[in-house]
Amino acid sequence: MATLSELRGRAVISLAEGEKLGTVKDLVLHPGDREIEGFVLETGGPDSFLPFGRFGKVGPDAIIVESKQAVEPAGQMNGSLQVADISKMEVMNSDGTKLGQVADIDFDLTTGALNTIELKAGGVFGLGAQKSSIPSSQIRAFGADVITIQAPSS
C-alpha cells in the first residue's frame, strides 16, 4: 500500500541513463475502474506522465524505471482525474451529509487499485481537523463537483 502524500516529491530515476526524470507531483485516477493510471511528474519544464506498471521498484528515496522511454509527455487524460482535482471536492453521503474533503488516497502499489480515500473535516488551516477513511467499495461516484458515497446502513 502507498499514499500520494508518501510519494509526492519522490524522484523518478532511470537505470539505463542514470538520470533523474522528474519528481512525483500527482497521481492520475480512473474513476470508473477506481485504479491509478500513473504518476504526473514535475520535470522543470512541461509535466510528464509515468504510466502505472512501467516502473520497477518504489524505494524509500526514488521510484526506479528501466529507461527514460517509460515516461511519456503528459497529455489528455480521457475522463481520468488528477488527485489534486479530487482533493478540492467535497465528499457527501447518500443521506445528504457533507463528510469533508479528500486529504489523501491509499492505493495498492502492485495492482494500482484504490483502497481508501482519506478525509479531513473541520479545523483551522488544517489544525484540529478530524480525519477518517472511506473504503473504495463505498464510493458511488466521482462527480464533476462532489464525490458521493453510500451512507452506512442502520
Per-residue pLDDT reduced to its tens digit, 30-50:
888 899 999 999 998 899 999
Which of 63, 82, 101 is where one domain is finished? Answer: 82
Is 154 domain-assigned?
Answer: no
For the CA atoms of the chain, what is the radius of gyration?
Answer: 16
The residue segments making up the domain with residue 121 are 84-149
- The domain tally of the chain equals 2
**Could you give the CA distance from residue 28 to residue 149 in angstroms, rounded to a whole number?**
20
Between 130 and 17, residue with greater pLDDT:
17
Note the pLDDT of residue 19.
96
